[in-house]
Amino acid sequence: MFKQNISLSLHSNYKIGGKAKYFFEPKNEEELVTAISHIRKLKTDLFVLGGGTNVLFSDADFPGAVVKIQNSKFQILDSNLMIGAGVSMAELLNVVAEKGLSGLEWAGGLPGTLGGAVRGNAGAFGGEIKDAIEYVKSFNAKTGKFMTRVNKECRFCYRDSIFKNAAKDEIIWEIGLRLKPGNKKEIQSAIEDKIKYRLERHPMDYPNVGSIFKNVDVEIVPKTLREKFKAKIKIDPIPVLPTAILLAEAGLKGVSRGGAMISPKHPNFIVNTLNASSKDVKILIYLVKYTIKEKFGIKLEEEIMIV
């Protein structure tokens, strides 16, 4: 029912990480409940994993249990969907496009699972996953109980939800989505546009975990910088100055450490160019935060999860 000493680099988009002592992959509720009760008996730490597209694992081995969510439930009733948290966004988008269901076009090219997207309220191109959510069913690893929250109980806000805060012991298990009937061709082409945009701008030739830092709320950007980069401010969905602009302005493009590099193509990505260690990436994260604070007085906040 579980594997042992599994290399986390194989389960991370970064291709970085030591070994997990225990590794579970529950596919249904029964397997999830059994896995969690086993982990509680082992009295060991638990880390929940989706697609590994937003996580930086440590170089050291993880002495606890990693639970990789494999709930692949896929049920569609008209415009209402009941989807397992382990379903990849790519698969979800393929199906909704095929069925002519609109509302997730912004997520074209968004990697990872639906569960991961819900926890961080993933968003792009002005859209956010919260806009399509009806309910979230989760499993509390401490109490051993399932519960269901409607959208507004999930306290979604910019790259945030209750599952990152008050409900951080909960494993997102199933998501109810409500989409709208739309034109199949238009939906498909909107998704393809987003994928094309990402391929042109993101450094996809190297392992990465997307943007390292959250974009910066314009309210905290010094007035001179705000004026200088007025044209770069975007709505995401609040007005933000892209962090990549600050990093480029600070001359950080292409700075490297060991096998990790601040991407010259998109400086908010730190890419693994050659067998980077977790330490290499962490040193660059520290360097960026220090430089941006010194130069602009802005405290950057990580978007990725560092384990």
Specify whether 105 is catalytic.
no
Phi, psi for residue 243 in degrees, rounded to 5: -60, -35
CA distances from 224 to 218, 289, 290 (A): 12, 20, 20
Phi, psi for residue 56 in degrees, rounded to 5: -110, 110
Specify whether 303 is catalytic.
yes
CB of 71 to ligand FAD, least distance (A): 8
Please identify, among the stretches 107-115, 147-155, 225-233, 249-257, the one whose residues bind ligand FAD according to the rule CB under 6 A. Answer: 107-115
Written as six digits, the tokens of 247 are 């990093």
Please identify, among the stretches 21-29, 104-112, 234-242, 273-281, the one whose residues bind ligand FAD according to the rule CB under 6 A. Answer: 104-112
CB of 165 to ligand FAD, least distance (A): 12
Task: Tell which residue, 213, 212, 199, 215, has the closest CA to residue 276.
Answer: 212
115 part of the interface to ligand FAD, by CB under 6 A: yes
Looking at residue 105, the DSSP 8-state letter turns out to be G
Active-site choice (105, 128, 170, 303): 303
Quick one: which of 9, 70, 113, 263 contacts ligand FAD (CB under 6 A)? 113
Site for ligand FAD in 3-22 (CB under 6 A): 13
Written as six digits, the tokens of 34 are 């059994």
Q: How many residues bind ligand FAD (CB under 6 A)?
A: 31
Site for ligand FAD in 169-188 (CB under 6 A): 171-172
Strand 305-306 with 55-56, pairing = parallel
Active-site choice (9, 138, 161, 211): 211
Please identify, among the stretches 72-80, 113-121, 236-244, 275-283, the one whose residues bind ligand FAD according to the rule CB under 6 A. Answer: 113-121
267 part of the interface to ligand FAD, by CB under 6 A: no
The rounded distance, in Å, linking the Cα atoms of 32 and 65 is 13
209 part of the interface to ligand FAD, by CB under 6 A: yes
Task: Tell which residue, 158, 254, 268, has the closest CA to residue 211.
Answer: 268
CB of 204 to ligand FAD, least distance (A): 6
Written as six digits, the tokens of 43 are 């009295």
The rounded distance, in Å, linking the Cα atoms of 165 and 156 is 11
By residue count, the chain amounts to 307
Specify whether 159 is catalytic.
yes
The rounded distance, in Å, linking the Cα atoms of 262 and 273 is 10
Strand 256-257 with 234-235, pairing = unpaired
Q: Which residue's CB is nearer to ligand FAD, number 29 or number 226?
A: 29
Active-site choice (159, 198, 257, 278): 159
CA distances from 198 to 76, 132, 201, 260 (A): 28, 22, 5, 21
Quick one: which of 84, 108, 123, 176 contacts ligand FAD (CB under 6 A)? 123
119 part of the interface to ligand FAD, by CB under 6 A: yes
Those residues whose C-beta lies under 8 Å from the C-beta of residue 110, and which sit 6 or more positions away, are 89, 117, 122, 124
- Per-residue mark of binding to ligand FAD, 23-62 (x: CB under 6 A): -------------------------xxxxxxxx-------
Residues that bind ligand FAD (CB under 6 A): 13, 48-55, 69, 85, 110-113, 115-117, 119-120, 122-124, 163, 171-172, 202, 208-210, 305
